[in-house]
Structure 1
Amino acid sequence: MSAKEWNVTVFIDEGPDRTVARAVMTDDGRMAAVGRGVARRNPVDRPVAEIGDELAVSRALEDLAQRIHDMASHDFAHMAGPAGQVPA
């Protein structure tokens, strides 16, 4: 069995009322997928940066996971061939 390594780097951009996170997955140094997450602070809430970071990052990782799943589904469908076609 061969070993592979995929890396995920998370970038966080914090503002006073909004935090944006990007989760970038690389495969052999090439960007393979990107997930994005946003957290917005309700004006009546106290500004706690860690909470915005956690929410935005978790949402970016969820988005990344969904995108990887979609890639696998697309690849599987492509390998299976046209719908209704029976392999010879």
Structure 2
Amino acid sequence: MTLASWNIDVALSEDDTYTDATATLHLPDGTNLQAQGHAKRNPADPAQPQIGEEIATARALSSLVDQLLGKAADEIEQVTHEPAHLNA
């Protein structure tokens, strides 16, 4: 069995209303995929920064999923010369 380890860095910035997340996936082939996620607090809601961080990070990670599936599909197509259709 081969063990592989991939790393994702998440950087967060926020103010009283908005939270932004940048997620970067570092792949073993040297490729870095990066995605953004955003959250906005409803002014009527109490300030709970962790919730905004979770939402923004989830959205960034969801975007990374799409990018990684796209990368894998491109690589499959290079080998098979046929369209690849991958779903999350």
Fold agreement, TM-score > 0.5:
yes
SS in 1 for 2:72: helix
SS in 2 for 1:19: strand
Q: Which runs of 5+ in 2 are unaligned?
A: 84-88
TM-score by length of 1: 0.80
Structure 1 partner of 2:66: 66
Q: In the alignment, is residue 22 of structure 1 matched against residue 22 of structure 2? A: yes
TM-score by length of 2: 0.80
Identity of aligned residues (%): 28
Residue 74 of structure 1 deviates from its aligned partner by 1.4
Q: How does 1:8-87 map onto structure 2 within 5 Å?
A: 8-28=8-28, 30-81=30-81
Q: Which runs of 5+ in 1 are unaligned?
A: 84-88
| Superposed structure 1 runs of 4+ greater than 2 Å apart | 1-5, 27-31
| Alignment RMSD | 2.0
